[in-house]
Each structure stands twice: as structure tokens, then as C-alpha cells.
Amino acid sequence: MKRLQVPSWITTLAVALLAFFGVWYAKQGGHISVYWYQVVQLAAITAISALGLNLIYGFNGQFSLGHIGFYAIGAYGSALITKDYVTKWSGSQTGALAWMLAGQIGLVFALVLINKLGLPVVKKRISSSLSEHLAPHEANTLGTLAVLLISAASLAASVAVALGLHALLAPALETIISSLPEGASRPLIFALALINGGSIAALVSYLVGLALLRLGSDYFGIATLGFAVMVYTALQNSDLVIETMKGARGMVGIPPWSTWPWVAGGLVLLAIVMRNMLRSSHGRAMISVREDEIASQSMGVDVTQLKNLAFTMGGFYAGVAGALYAHLYGFLHPSSFSMIKGFDPLIIIVFGGLGSMTGTILASVMFALVIEGLRVILPQGFEDWRFVIYPIILLLIMLLRPSGLLGTSEWGWLRAPLPPERDIPVPNRSLRGSAVSASSEEE
């Protein structure tokens, strides 16, 4: 009865390897120019970021317009680390890295502390014990005040933790990096920069999500757009805070370390992680939140928590993608992270299919190839017309295929695994659907 089938992971692996070595040999053999080599990498980077947004909007149903902001944070955050390694702008090769690590751990510490203290409960307790002696509004105000004081105290404690950590980390990192040979310290710094780009963006998106996710999808979209504008404006004036970011002049001196193996490796790794997460019970719960919040709540899903998880994870993907982008050209300018640019990943996921990883990856590649391809095809001086032609192509496809290229379907290993074989007696045809007879056999 059963046909012999090649397991889906084998075909998927084969396609991935083919794509990887295809690009690699084309580059090594000089068959593609540096320009196209970078276009291919940009496509993979865009795919990482778009996967993150698809998780938030496609799989979890939260319409976000702020994705480019997290991409920017990952880009600049990681660039500060690697530029430090090359130019020692902070005074030491690992100064920026030490500060970022300490800062992040301090922030996580503060969040855990505030969460553990259970502030709403504390407030209620203080207010109710005070209300025996005071008017209700006085008790309430004092309760709020007490909670604010406690928050401030835990923030102060976290700053202390961060400062202490920095004092420990800075010399330790310095010794480690300087003792390693260049061939080892460079990739180490790059890897750390990529991870930090992701984790900083994830932390910020956790905080943004905490504040905004309760707004409900439409308002959430507008509010996240506001966030992206905020980041953009901050970047234009960043030189006032950190001189080396150069604000509106654009940050230079970032080592161009992004290569196809790094970019493709990042994409593959992050795609595997996302696929496995989506096929876990958390992933199913994320999708169920998109489908019907009330129903998934009655399954026992903590809806707020899952929205936060998806948004934070999506932010991480944007951050890593931004970090790879920063090291692709070695130059960052705020205009790469403007509101208009922010629509790119959104267009890609809608075009590829909301809720399809396969569609997102395909659409990212097509997006890059079409945009750059039109630049080549169009006559000199008409390059900017591609931004007219491109939306027209897009519009046509949206009219012909409203649910995107793939809808919610996936290809190969990205698909949901088939159900296991079960040796429940095959229901007798005459009893089909009649549960009484079927279930009375059981006990």
C-alpha cells in the first residue's frame, strides 16, 4: 500500500546545499560580479528579517509597521561592536561589547526583579492596609507611590548590577580577545556582534510589545510605526550621543565581514529554529491566537504571553538581519531605515503568503532580483522607474493571487510532519461516526 518516499528533509537539504554551493562557486569562479554577489546576500538577509515579521504578522496576527526599527537597532548595535574591534573608538577593542553585554544583563535583571516582585499585588496590599486609616484615594495614591519607589529601587539595583558586571567583563574580554590570534578573534567578535544585534533588538521589542501589544491589532500597527519613526529620528541625531555613529552623515568604518557562508548559514540556522518552534505546541498556539483569540484562550493559552514571545522573537530576527546588513557594505545611513524602506518586509510577506516560511524566502529572493534586475534592464537614467514598475507587478500578483504566492502552505521539511501511524482498529464502515458502538468496544 505505502509508496516509498524520500523523507522531506533530504530533498530540502539537497535544495539548500545546491543553492549554497551554486552561489559559492559562481562567486569563486568569477561568474558573478561582486555587485550580484552582494545582491544575493541582501536577498538572504531580507529573508531573515521578513521571516521575523511573518512570525509576528503572518503566524501570530499582530500587524506591525515597526519592523525596520528593530532592523536598524541590530545594524547599529552590532556595528558599534565590530567597529570598536577595528578602530578602538571606545578606547579599547571590546569596550562597546562589554557595555552592551552588561547593559542587557542589567535590563533583564530589572525585568525579572520587577516581575518577581508582583507589583500589582504589592500595590493592592499596601493600599488596602492603608485604607483603614486614610480615604480610599489617598491610600490608592500612596500605594502607587510605593510601587513607583520599589520600581525605581529595582532599576537602581539593576544599574548597579550592570556597572559591576561591566567592571568584571571589560578587562576579561580585553584579555581574551588580545590573547587570541586574529584569525580566531575576528570571527568570534563578528559572531558576538550578530548575536548582540539580535538580542538588543529582541530586548527592545519585548519592551515595546509589553507597552503596545495590548492595544489591539490596528492601533498596534500605528503605534509600532511611531516606534520606527522614533528610531529613525534618533539615528539621524545619534552623533550627539555616540560620536562614532555619525548621525545623518552615515556611519563609516564598519568592517565588511558579511560573506555568503555567514549570511546563508544565518538564514538556514534561523529558519530551522523557526520551523521547529512553529511545529511545537508554542508555535501552534501562536497560530491559534491569530485564528481566534478567545478560542485559544479557552484552550489554556496565555494570549498576551504568546504575542510577546512572537514579537520578541521576530525582533531578534530583524536584529540579526540588520547586523548582517551592516557588515555587507560596511556603511550605514539612517535613510536605509526610513519608513518607506520599512514597507519592504511587509510587502514581501504579503506577497509570499502570510503564514508561509517557504513563501517568505522565495519572495525575498524575487524581491531582490526584481528590484536589481529592473535596474539593469531599464535604460540609463530610468533606474528609478523600477519603483513604478515594481508596484505594478506587485499589484497584478495581488489581484491574481490575493493570498500571496503560497497562502499558508509550506514546502518540503518546512511542512507540518505527517501524523504518526496508529493501530486503532480501522472503524467498521457501517459504524462510521457512530461513537457509541465504537467507544463501547474500549472498556
Partner 1 sequence: MQLLQVDNLHVAYGAIRAIQGISFHVDAGEIVTLIGANGAGKSTSLRTISGLLRPYRGDILYQGESIVRTSPERIVKAGISQVPEGRQIFSTLTVMENLQMGAYTRRDPQEIESSMQRVFRSFPRLQERQSQLGGTLSGGEQQMLAMGRGLMSMPRLLLLDEPSMGLAPILVDEIFEIIKAINAQGTSILLVEQNAAMALSIADRAYVLETGRIVLEGDAKSVLRNPQIREAYLG
Question: If binding is defined by CB under 8 A, does position 436 make contact with partner 1?
Answer: yes
Shortest separation between residue 300's beta carbon and partner 1, angstroms: 4
367 phi and psi angles, rounded to 5 deg: -55, -50
Return the number of the residue (243 or 302) whose C-beta is nearest partner 1.
302
Considering only residues 287 to 346 of the shown chain, the ones binding partner 1 according to CB under 8 A are 287-288, 291-292, 294-302
Return the number of the residue (56 or 73) whose C-beta is nearest partner 1.
56
Return the number of the residue (1 or 435) whose C-beta is nearest partner 1.
435
Question: If binding is defined by CB under 8 A, does position 193 make contact with partner 1?
Answer: no
C-alpha cell at position 227: 516606534
Which of 46-54, 82-90, 324-332, 417-425 is the region at the interface with partner 1 (rule: CB under 8 A)? Answer: 417-425
Return the number of the residue (228 or 354) whose C-beta is nearest partner 1.
354
Give yes or no for a contact between 256 and 328, defined as CB atoms under 8 angstroms apart.
yes
C-alpha cell at position 61: 496576527
Return the number of the residue (234 or 350) whose C-beta is nearest partner 1.
350
Shortest separation between residue 275's beta carbon and partner 1, angstroms: 14
Considering only residues 125 to 164 of the shown chain, the ones binding partner 1 according to CB under 8 A are none
Count of residues engaged in binding partner 1, rule: CB under 8 A: 36
Amino acid 39 reads V
Return the number of the residue (98 or 278) whose C-beta is nearest partner 1.
278
Determine which residue in the list 193, 285, 313, 332 makes contact with partner 1, applying CB under 8 A.
Answer: 285
Which of 46-54, 77-85, 223-231, 423-431 is the region at the interface with partner 1 (rule: CB under 8 A)? Answer: 423-431
Determine which residue in the list 182, 218, 384, 441 makes contact with partner 1, applying CB under 8 A.
Answer: 441
Which of 21-29, 40-48, 268-276, 427-435 is the region at the interface with partner 1 (rule: CB under 8 A)? Answer: 427-435
Question: If binding is defined by CB under 8 A, does position 419 make contact with partner 1?
Answer: yes
Return the number of the residue (34 or 435) whose C-beta is nearest partner 1.
435
HEC per residue, the chain: CCCCCCCHHHHHHHHHHHHHHHHHHHHHCCCCCHHHHHHHHHHHHHHHHHHHHHHHHHHCCCCCCCHHHHHHHHHHHHHHHHHHHHHCCCCCCCHHHHHHHHHHHHHHHHHHHHHHHCHHHHHHHHHHHHCCCCCHHHHHHHHHHHHHHHHHHHHHHHHHHHHHHHHHHHHHHHHHHHHCCHHHHHHHHHHHHHHHHHHHHHHHHHHHHHHHHHHCHHHHHHHHHHHHHHHHHHHHCHHHCCHHHCHHHCECCCCCCCCHHHHHHHHHHHHHHHHHHHCCHHHHHHHHHHHCHHHHHHCCCCHHHHHHHHHHHHHHHHHHHHHHHHHHHCCECHHHHCHHHHHHHHHHHHHHCCCCHHHHHHHHHHHHHHHHHHHHHCCCCCHHHHHHHHHHHHHHHHHHCCCCCCCCCCCHHHCCCCCCCCCCCCCCHHHCCCHHHHHHCCC
Question: If binding is defined by CB under 8 A, does position 5 make contact with partner 1?
Answer: no
Q: What is the per-residue binding string for partner 1 in 245-284, x denoting contact by CB under 8 A?
A: ------------------------------------x--x
Which of 225-233, 246-254, 329-337, 434-442 is the region at the interface with partner 1 (rule: CB under 8 A)? Answer: 434-442
Question: If binding is defined by CB under 8 A, does position 442 make contact with partner 1?
Answer: yes
Considering only residues 352 to 371 of the shown chain, the ones binding partner 1 according to CB under 8 A are 355
Determine which residue in the list 4, 181, 418, 430 makes contact with partner 1, applying CB under 8 A.
Answer: 418
Q: Which of 142, 155, 149 is nearest to 114 (CA)?
A: 155
Return the number of the residue (234 or 306) whose C-beta is nearest partner 1.
306
Residues that bind partner 1 (CB under 8 A): 281, 284-285, 287-288, 291-292, 294-302, 355, 408, 416, 418-419, 422, 424, 427, 431-436, 438-443
